[in-house]
Each structure stands twice: as structure tokens, then as C-alpha cells.
Chains A and B, each alone.
Chain A
Amino acid sequence: MDIKTKRILAFIFLTFFIIGTAEANIIATIGMEGLNMISPEAGKIIDTIICAQNPIVCLSGKVMGIVQSKLMETLAETSPKIYKAVSTYNEIKSYIEQGASILEELKINEEGNIEGGVISFGEEENSIKKLFIDSNTEDIAISNADYDFETQKITLKEGGYLKVKVKDDEGKIQELNYENIAEGYLKLNESTGLVEEAEIVTSGDSTYKFGEYESLSVKEGTHILYQDGKITVSGKENNFMYGNLNISSFEESVNLFGDKIICAECSINEIKLKGLGKETRGILEQTDKGYLIKYGEATYKQNLLTVDTKNEEVLIADLNADLSDYQGSWLKQTSENLEIKSSESGSINLEILEEHDIFNTDAKDKLNIKLTKGDGLNIEKRADEGLIPKVIYASSTNEGASTEIENDHLKFSFKDGEFYMSPPKSVTRDDLFGKYQSVALELESDSAKEASKIRVNSYNQFIMLGKDNNELVSYNKYDLPVSSKIKDNELQTIEQLREKYPEMLFTTPSEKETMPPYMFYLTDIYIQENPEALDEMKGWHYDLGTSASVVYFNTFIGLEIVQTDSPNNFEEIRKFTSPLQVFVHEHEHIKDNIIIREENKIINSKQDSLQKKYDELGENCANRLSQSKTKTLLKDFFKNINDDKITPTILKSLEEKKDYSEELMTAYSYLVKTPDLKSKSNDFDRIIQLSTGLPSGYSLDYFLNYREISTTYREQPIEQRKLLVQSGNKLISETYTKLTQLAFDSGKMKTDEFVAIMGNGFCKKGDCSDKICKEYKLLCCEDNPSSPNC
């Protein structure tokens, strides 16, 4: 081996050694002026092999034009690494010749790969697939875009685009377009050539596909971030399609994670999804059976589902989904039916919102349902039959299975096939804000063990019916009908009442007119049962508000009707069971005043007026207070109470005064308003009733104002008056017989009511004409001249 040969071998060895030890190092750069080898040795090879052969494309170790294949073959034999670098250059040079430019020198490593630098593609479409050697794509085309080799990000300029052609599962070529991008970048996967990361803001309506996800169709101005396998969509007009899902976001952004959609608050087709609280986001997963709510609050057809734990996940099932083998909790609603079923280990939390198609709810209705461990409900609409929905409880045999239905303040539960009820709290004024109405429905069980059914009306009342539809249990404070008909449950607002009776003026205490709807229903029932009330009340300018206010119950009848405070307050003094009694009371006042008006037309009558009759009766009763037996009873009573505030005064009055009814009234009010003594007011009532003939402690007020006698008599239930007429206590029976007769004689009481109180055999004639005008004759005999009592 001669010296020259040794030198060449040493050079080649050294060259390979140097290049070999600098693995992954940058060996060349590409700029607009050409390929520049970094090491002098590589430059010499370029000089030796390329420049010597083709000086046009090469000058002093720098390649400036596309190197032809013949020289490339030689280069490949001499130095594969330099060959790779020149190959890469040839590709870049072809882009440059089509209008691309190098914005930042491209850095070529020894593998011939570009590791850094930025190339800017012009308007002309360029295929860049060769830059992604391992890509499975059919083609990758780019226009008007910069490609940063270091970050692997494609930045599209105005009018720029990226097109990726791939074969789908059926072998058809599908073109994925990324255009209408105002700003942002796309990053392609080196091996697949598909977009693996992106952050873009759209400049027009567009459809994109990221990874294996469904295609995403968005509007102009949408911000899309695709990173780590998750798509985040946001923007001012945040409405987009994701596959077949129409998604709108109301706040922040929506995350798409394969079949999962995650958002703080968004709508997905018919479903509104949101997180629980400010810090969390709702999660929905699209499945082959419907939408699985994995977390958050989901509203579907006005069913609000709350999912906080994995056990509470619930599927909103497609209408045609076969759920026979589905193990999770689910809900399905058609136009006629709502089915809910909890899984064996899970539960469903459901709130029925306003305008629910099956339950026919409004904004003030409150209905919450919780099913646990296999229990289910099947709700039938029944509106076509004019009936309220029927809820059939599908019981489970799983241990711990239960169903809870909160219908305003009524709380029912079903356990082991039996109905339970939680003791309801009293309705207060505060309850008249927000949701305070019950939803009319019938509850039945599919269990053979439970034959009864529960019917709830719109007015917070329910009845329990036996297997023969006989009423067994009633929760019905105001004694309103609990009807299965929709029309009997519809009257909910004062507007409806005003529409029904336009001739009357209805007012409420507050501007918001928040009142329990039973008050409207009750008013309607009263007017229907007493149609004469419409005529009698219309045009009657007597304001009864003042007299009614003594019972803490501001009911105005006449030109104004129905004003009520909290329904509990009016029980303070008299033990009303229904506000209807207040209507009766006030209406009776109107009737009395009509009689006074008519009596005044008869001048110089020798007969007593009706009021005089009541005054006489009242005085007789009041006089009985001065009887020694009564005084003894009262003395013992107040001594027993021994209260500093009332006992001394009353004992003194009993000793010194003949008429001490005012002191008694004061003492009675004190008893009623003093919590520890309230129950004693009942004993006091009884003493007064037994002693005077009038029914309660309130009767004391009669003695101060006899105008209340007829009205307080009339407000008592018929059954109660019937019993008092027949009382073993002669004072009571005589007083009540006389009050009944006066009401009948004056035309205020119909024959039916008169007979019901006095007994079937009391009248000889069917119309009781033989008994009329016995006590009151003035107007009575004018109207009934043939009466034997006139």
C-alpha cells in the first residue's frame, strides 16, 4: 500500500469515524441558497463527488440545485449519510421551485431527516407525504402554510389548507381537510401522518377530523385545541356538530374525549349537561343504547338527572334501545310513557322540571324521585283520557331497594312493597317562593302485597284508595276534592280565576301574587257550590276586610275576594279546618246586610228585625255568664291556672262585675297566645260552651258584637251543628235550634241544609213550609204569606 492510498483510507476512516461518532448530529443545513454541509470533510466529499461532476448544482461543498440520480448513486456508494442529506435537499428544492421558501434554515441530521427550521409553502399545493416516510396516508398536501420541522407544527396562512388522504376501513379513500383556519397550528404524527395535535381558530364554517374521533363541524371563530387525545372546543358562537351530536356550550369550553363529552354547561342533542357546582364539569358518553350520564346534571325532556358517583350513572336510552340485558340504571321517555329503572347496586336521582310532557308540570311544581337498587317506575301519561298520570311502582326484591317520591312537601317512599310517608312539614309563607306546588298523579304498586293506591292532587293533598276504590286514608286539610281528572287539578293561578269569573275582582296580599294554589281552587269550588254568591257579592259595596282580619286571615269578599296569609295562621283563634269556612262566614255577612237593606224598605213594621233576633239570642247567652254555676266553674279554672297576668283580674271581675265578658275575652286571647297555656284555651272553650250555649271561647266576641253570631254559626260544619242541635246540654241545643231556624226563616239557609241539621223527621212537608217563619217573621212572612207560622 503506497502512501497516497494510506492517506485516502485514513481520510475515509476518519470521515466515517467523525460522522459515526456524531450520530444524530446535524450534518447539514438547507437555506434558500442551498444545502450546506457542516463538516469540512463532508464538504470535501460533496466537492469531490458532486461539484467535480456537475458544477452547476454545486459550489465549494454547497449543493444549490437538484442533484441528478446518477450522481446520487455514486454518492450513495461513497457516503449513505451525505446521500440522505442530499436526497432531503432534493425534496426541499422541489418545494422551493414550486414556490416554497425557507424561513429558517433547515437542519439535516445524519439520517437525512430534518430536525429543525421552517419552510413556508406557497399557494401551490405541495405534497409533503415524503417528509413522513412511515406514514400510512395516501397523501398529505399543503398550501399556504409554514411547517416548522422542530416543533412539527403546520401553521396555515390565509387561504391555506392541509389535506390528508387516508383509506377508511372499507378501503375507500377519504380526504381530511383542514382549512378555514384563521390562526393556530396543526401537528402531524410522524408515523401516521394524521393530525395528532392542533390548536386553531376557524375563519369559516368547517368540518375537521382529529385522530379516530368523529368529525367535528364548527362555525367561524371557534377555537379548537386537540392535544393528548382530547379535543377542546370553545368560542363566542359555541355551537358545533360532533358526529351526529349537536353540541352547544353555554360557558367555557367543551371537551371531547372519544365518545365522552365533558363540559361545564352545554347541550348535546336533547340533553343539557352541566357539572355539579362551579368547579366541576358534566360528563356524557355516547353508547350504542343512548347517552350515559357519567357525572353532573343532565336534563332530558325536562327530566333532571343528578349523577355524583359511579353508582348514580344513568343511561338516557334511545327509544328503540333494547334494555333487556342492560345492567345499569336507565331512563326512557316516549310521548306517552316514562320508564325509570335503577341498577341492582345503583340509584337514580331525578327531578321533574316544568313543562314535563308526561307530568304536565309548571314552574312552581316540585317533584323529585329517587330509585335505589333495582326499583323502577313506569309512568303513563293518560292525558288522552283526561286523567292525571299514573305512576306504577316496579318493586325489586333486592335488599335495600327503595323508591322515594318528594311531591312538594309530601314525601312518599316504597320499601319492601309497601307505601310509607314522611311526616310533612307545615307550609309557611316562605314556602310560597320558588317551588311550592304538588304534581297531580296516582301511585300504584305492581306488588300483589299492596292493593291500595295513592292519589295526589295539585294542592298538596292526597287520598289512599283501597282495592275497591274506597277512600281509606285522606291527607286533606282543606277538604278539597282529590280528583283523578286533569281539569280538576288545573286551576293554579289567580289569572285563571280572573278569567273564569271576569265579573269579580280578585286580589292577593303581595304584588307577586304568590299564594298556595289551593286557595284559587277553593274559591272556585265555593262559587260553584254557591252560585248565588256571584250575584250577591257583585256590586255590594260593603268592605268586609276589617271584620275578617280578626281571624288573621285577610279574606276580602265582595268586590275583592281571596286574600290569605299563611294557611296556618287562621287557626289561631277559631279552629277552622278549611279556609272555606272563612268564605262562608264573610258571605253570611253579605247575606245579613242584604236583609238589613230589604228590611229598611218596610217602614213601621211591628215585627222584629233579624238582627234584633240575633241580639236577643246573644244577650240570653251572655246573661248565662252571670249564673253562679258558671262563675264557680270559671273561678276554679282560673285558680287552677294561677297566672299572675290574668287570674287576679278575672277573680276580681267574677266577684265584682255582672258583665265581665270583656275581661274574659282578654283572658281568652292571652291563653291562646301564650304557648304554655294554649291547650288550656280548649278547657276554657268548653266551660263557656257548656255555660252559655254558644260553642267556644270565641263566642265571647259575640257578646261584644252580636253581628258575628249568625256568621260564626254558619261557618261551622253541618255535622257539627247537627250534633249541637241534638246536644244533651239544653242551652246548646236550644241556642243551635234557634240559630238554625233563624237562618232558614231569613232565607239564608236552603231547605236541604235545614233538614240535614234538624233531622229527617222534623218537617212534615218536603219543602219544610210548615216550619218556616217560626222565629223570624218580618221578611219571611212577606215572602211566605201562606206559612202557618205567619
Chain B
Amino acid sequence: MKKRAQVTIFIIIAILIVASAVLIFSFRDKIKIFMLNSDPVYLFVQNCVEETGKDAIYFITQNGGYLFPPTLSTSEGTPYYFYNNKDYTPTKDRIGEEISDYIENSISYCTNEFTNFPDLNITEEEIKAKAKIENEKIILDVVYPLIINKGGSTRKLENFNNIIIQAEIGRIYNSIKEIIQEQIDKEGICLSCISELIDEEGLTIDMVNTEEAIIFTVKDKYSLIKNVPIEWKFANGY
């Protein structure tokens, strides 16, 4: 009886080992992330990507989708989306590239030469970021090669993928695009068209006139970045 019980235990253990092996093989990527998630440097960089990504989203939307103003901008640097009855709204891909550029340029101000890790020697290589704008979120994939050295042992971190920032800028973008399309071939600013569109989307618009243009700021009080509503600014020249 005792012997039979022992055999049963061994069989169960064997089954568990095999099952674990199958599970590990099947979910190896997630397990890898799980392991990375416990890495303080990885967590630190991931946090920096996220925080800088949020800064980027706020900054880029405030600047009309650009890191640096394009040629067709007001003297204050607000890009024209509508000028001489034509639509100059940047594409979503272009805005994604601008967000990526911001992250690439600014993440080092967050990682701050890894001074938070005085016992590690961390070497940075060139960072490459890619931001994909979806309706309700931004997905960031960042290649940030880091060589971490501690007491002669070296390891490498490189990919910080699938970092998701919940921000409905894709949806706001779609509304802006429609607003611009509504202005084409109209005599003046069609307030009715704008209000109908933004009412459906739960947005609001601030308009301010300058000597050159009307500056529009589209706000989504439900879409927050660091608890601050997103404000998307652009200029229309009539």
C-alpha cells in the first residue's frame, strides 16, 4: 500500500513537471516579461518610457502633432491644419513618428544617466522608439540597448515593447480631421458643423484669434494624461 502511494506521488510529480514544461514553452514570452518585470533597471526604463511617452503625448498634441513646427505654421509655431481652403492635417503615422522622436530625444532626461543605480555600470546605445496610435491608446515599442555591468558580470536589456498608454488621441484625431474637412468650401467657420461633431464625441473646442489665424484647441476632459486633460492645438488660416 505504501509503495503504491509512493509511485502515485512520483507519477503526479512527473505529470506536473511535463505540464510545467509545456506551459513554460507555451507562455515563454510572458514569462520572460514576468522575469523582466522583476528587474529594477527594466522597471525603471519601462517607467521612463511610459512617463516620457505621456509627456510626449501632451507635448505633441499641444504642438499640433509635431515635435518641431512644420514650415506651414504660424509665427508662434502652431501648425496650420487648414490653409487656403486646403487640409494640411498630419497623418496619424506622422504624429506617431513625432511622438517617437520626442521619446528618443527626451528619455535620457528621465533615465538621467542611471544615477539611480550607483552600483551598476550601465552603457546606453542609440534608442529607437515606435509609437502606434490607436483610437483609445498609444502602443510604444522601444528598442533601447543597455549593457549592464556589475562586478564583472554583464547582461543586456534591449526591447521595451508593448508599453500601452491609455489616451484617446486617435479618436480626437479623427474628430479633428472631420472638423477640418467640414471647413473646406464653407464661407467662414461652420460652428454648427463643429458643435455637432464634438458633441457626439464628448469634446470641447477653444478658439482664439491671432493676427494670422484662428488657433483651435480641442479638449477631451475624459482623456487624461497625468490627470490633465489632453489639449490638441492647431491653426486654421482663412
Residues of A near any B CB (own CB < 8 A): 411-413, 415, 417-426, 449-450, 452, 454, 464, 466-467, 470-477, 568, 571, 575, 577, 629, 675, 678-679, 681-683, 690, 719, 722-723, 726-732, 759
The residue in chain B whose Cβ has the minimal distance to the Cβ of A473 is: B205
Top-8 shortest CB links A-B: A728-B51, A418-B192, A679-B77, A682-B77, A728-B52, A423-B238, A729-B109, A420-B188
The residue in chain A whose Cβ has the minimal distance to the Cβ of B236 is: A423
A420 touches B76 (CB 8 A): no
B228 touches A466 (CB 8 A): no
Decide yes or no: A679 and B76 within 8 Å by CB, A568-B211, A728-B55 being known contacts.
Answer: yes
Write the nearest CB–CB distance from A260 to chain B, whole angstroms.
38
Q: Counting CB contacts under 8 A, is B75 at the interface?
A: yes
A472 touches B198 (CB 8 A): yes
Per-residue CB contact flags for chain B residues 204-216 toward chain A (1 = under 8 Å, else 0) read: 1111111100100
Looking at B58, B74, B109, which has the most chain A CB atoms within 10 Å of its CB?
Answer: B109
The residue in chain B whose Cβ has the minimal distance to the Cβ of A676 is: B75
**B191 — which chain A residues lie within 8 A by C-beta?**
412, 418-421, 452, 454, 464, 473
- Tell me the complex Cα distance, A471–B186, Å: 23
Looking at B54, B187, B191, B225, which has the most chain A CB atoms within 10 Å of its CB?
Answer: B191
Q: Counting CB contacts under 8 A, is B106 at the interface?
A: yes
Decide yes or no: A452 and B192 within 8 Å by CB, A423-B214, A678-B76, A719-B228 being known contacts.
Answer: yes
**A464 — which chain B residues lie within 8 A by C-beta?**
191, 195
Write the nearest CB–CB distance from B98 to chain A, whole angstroms.
13
> Would you list which residues of chain B between 185 and 231 have a CB under 8 Å from chain A?
186-196, 198-199, 204-211, 214, 225-229
Looking at A467, A477, A723, which has the most chain B CB atoms within 10 Å of its CB?
Answer: A723
**B204 — which chain A residues lie within 8 A by C-beta?**
471-474
Write the nearest CB–CB distance from A165 to chain B, whole angstroms.
66
**A474 — which chain B residues lie within 8 A by C-beta?**
204-207
Q: Which residue in A415, A454, A675, A683 is a CB contact (below 8 Å) of B75?
A: A675
Q: Which residue in A420, A426, A477, A679 is a CB contact (below 8 Å) of B190?
A: A420
**A450 — which chain B residues lie within 8 A by C-beta?**
192
Question: What secondary structure prevails in chain A residues at the interface with B?
Answer: mixed
The residue in chain A whose Cβ has the minimal distance to the Cβ of B225 is: A723
Q: Counting CB contacts under 8 A, is B90 at the interface?
A: no
Q: Counting CB contacts under 8 A, is B133 at the interface?
A: no
Write the nearest CB–CB distance from B1 to chain A, whole angstroms.
60
Decide yes or no: A473 and B192 within 8 Å by CB, A426-B210, A575-B76, A729-B110 being known contacts.
Answer: no
The residue in chain B whose Cβ has the minimal distance to the Cβ of A453 is: B195
- Tell me the complex Cα distance, A181–B108, Å: 102
Q: Counting CB contacts under 8 A, is B117 at the interface?
A: no
A472 touches B228 (CB 8 A): no
The residue in chain B whose Cβ has the minimal distance to the Cβ of A476 is: B206
Q: Which residue in A426, A470, A728 is a CB contact (below 8 Å) of B209?
A: A426
Known: A411-B188, A452-B195. 13 other contacts (CB 8 A): A421-B189, A423-B214, A423-B238, A472-B199, A472-B204, A473-B205, A679-B75, A679-B77, A722-B226, A726-B51, A728-B106, A730-B109, A731-B109
15 example contacts (A-B, Cβ-Cβ < 8 A) are as follows A418-B192, A424-B214, A425-B209, A425-B211, A452-B199, A473-B198, A475-B208, A477-B208, A679-B74, A682-B77, A729-B52, A729-B55, A729-B106, A729-B110, A759-B227
The residue in chain A whose Cβ has the minimal distance to the Cβ of B74 is: A679
Q: Counting CB contacts under 8 A, is B153 at the interface?
A: no
**B110 — which chain A residues lie within 8 A by C-beta?**
728-730
**A730 — which chain B residues lie within 8 A by C-beta?**
109-110, 112
- Tell me the complex Cα distance, A449–B192, Å: 9
Residues of B near any A CB (own CB < 8 A): 48, 50-55, 58, 63, 68-69, 73-77, 106-110, 112, 186-196, 198-199, 204-211, 214, 225-229, 236, 238
Write the nearest CB–CB distance from B196 to chain A, whole angstroms.
8
The residue in chain A whose Cβ has the minimal distance to the Cβ of B107 is: A728
The residue in chain A whose Cβ has the minimal distance to the Cβ of B49 is: A728
- Tell me the complex Cα distance, A476–B209, Å: 9
Write the nearest CB–CB distance from A640 to chain B, whole angstroms.
10
Write the nearest CB–CB distance from B180 to chain A, whole angstroms.
15
A473 touches B207 (CB 8 A): yes
Write the nearest CB–CB distance from A688 to chain B, whole angstroms.
12
**A424 — which chain B residues lie within 8 A by C-beta?**
209, 214
**A690 — which chain B residues lie within 8 A by C-beta?**
106, 109
Q: Which residue in B55, B193, B228, B229 is a CB contact (below 8 Å) of A418?
A: B193
Q: Which residue in B55, B73, B236 is a CB contact (below 8 Å) of A679?
A: B73
Write the nearest CB–CB distance from A364 to chain B, whole angstroms.
20
Write the nearest CB–CB distance from A75 to chain B, whole angstroms.
89
Write the nearest CB–CB distance from A642 to chain B, whole angstroms.
16
A422 touches B188 (CB 8 A): yes
- Tell me the complex Cα distance, A474–B218, Å: 10
- Tell me the complex Cα distance, A683–B192, Å: 36
B227 touches A722 (CB 8 A): yes
A728 touches B54 (CB 8 A): yes
- Tell me the complex Cα distance, A494–B184, Å: 43
B76 touches A682 (CB 8 A): yes
- Tell me the complex Cα distance, A304–B151, Å: 90
Write the nearest CB–CB distance from A674 to chain B, whole angstroms.
10
- Tell me the complex Cα distance, A589–B14, Å: 77
- Tell me the complex Cα distance, A690–B69, Å: 17
Write the nearest CB–CB distance from A465 to chain B, whole angstroms.
9
Write the nearest CB–CB distance from B236 to chain A, whole angstroms.
8
Decide yes or no: A466 and B227 within 8 Å by CB, A418-B190, A422-B188, A426-B210 being known contacts.
Answer: no
Write the nearest CB–CB distance from A117 to chain B, whole angstroms.
74
Looking at B112, B208, B214, which has the most chain A CB atoms within 10 Å of its CB?
Answer: B208
Q: Which residue in B48, B52, B106, B226 is a CB contact (below 8 Å) of A723?
A: B226
- Tell me the complex Cα distance, A731–B106, Å: 12
- Tell me the complex Cα distance, A644–B206, Å: 39
The residue in chain B whose Cβ has the minimal distance to the Cβ of A472 is: B195
**A467 — which chain B residues lie within 8 A by C-beta?**
199
- Tell me the complex Cα distance, A728–B199, Å: 33
The residue in chain A whose Cβ has the minimal distance to the Cβ of B71 is: A679
**B194 — which chain A residues lie within 8 A by C-beta?**
472-473
The residue in chain A whose Cβ has the minimal distance to the Cβ of B187 is: A420
**A732 — which chain B residues lie within 8 A by C-beta?**
109
Write the nearest CB–CB distance from A417 to chain B, whole angstroms.
8
A423 touches B109 (CB 8 A): no
B227 touches A728 (CB 8 A): no
- Tell me the complex Cα distance, A732–B106, Å: 12
**A426 — which chain B residues lie within 8 A by C-beta?**
209-211
- Tell me the complex Cα distance, A412–B192, Å: 11
**B53 — which chain A residues lie within 8 A by C-beta?**
728
- Tell me the complex Cα distance, A678–B226, Å: 30
Q: Which residue in A420, A726, A727, A759 is a CB contact (below 8 Å) of B186?
A: A420
- Tell me the complex Cα distance, A129–B194, Å: 80
- Tell me the complex Cα distance, A789–B186, Å: 62
- Tell me the complex Cα distance, A629–B107, Å: 13
Looking at B69, B195, B229, which has the most chain A CB atoms within 10 Å of its CB?
Answer: B195
- Tell me the complex Cα distance, A426–B214, Å: 10
Write the nearest CB–CB distance from B29 to chain A, whole angstroms.
27
- Tell me the complex Cα distance, A682–B77, Å: 7
B199 touches A722 (CB 8 A): no
**A675 — which chain B residues lie within 8 A by C-beta?**
75
Write the nearest CB–CB distance from B140 to chain A, whole angstroms.
12
Write the nearest CB–CB distance from B110 to chain A, whole angstroms.
5
The residue in chain B whose Cβ has the minimal distance to the Cβ of A719 is: B228
Write the nearest CB–CB distance from A575 to chain B, whole angstroms.
7
The residue in chain B whose Cβ has the minimal distance to the Cβ of A728 is: B51
A419 touches B192 (CB 8 A): yes
- Tell me the complex Cα distance, A424–B156, Å: 58
Q: Which residue in A421, A454, A682 is a CB contact (below 8 Å) of B188?
A: A421
- Tell me the complex Cα distance, A499–B138, Å: 55
**B69 — which chain A residues lie within 8 A by C-beta?**
679, 682-683
Decide yes or no: A683 and B68 within 8 Å by CB, A466-B199, A728-B52, A728-B110 being known contacts.
Answer: yes
**B228 — which chain A residues lie within 8 A by C-beta?**
719, 722-723
**B236 — which chain A residues lie within 8 A by C-beta?**
423
- Tell me the complex Cα distance, A267–B229, Å: 59
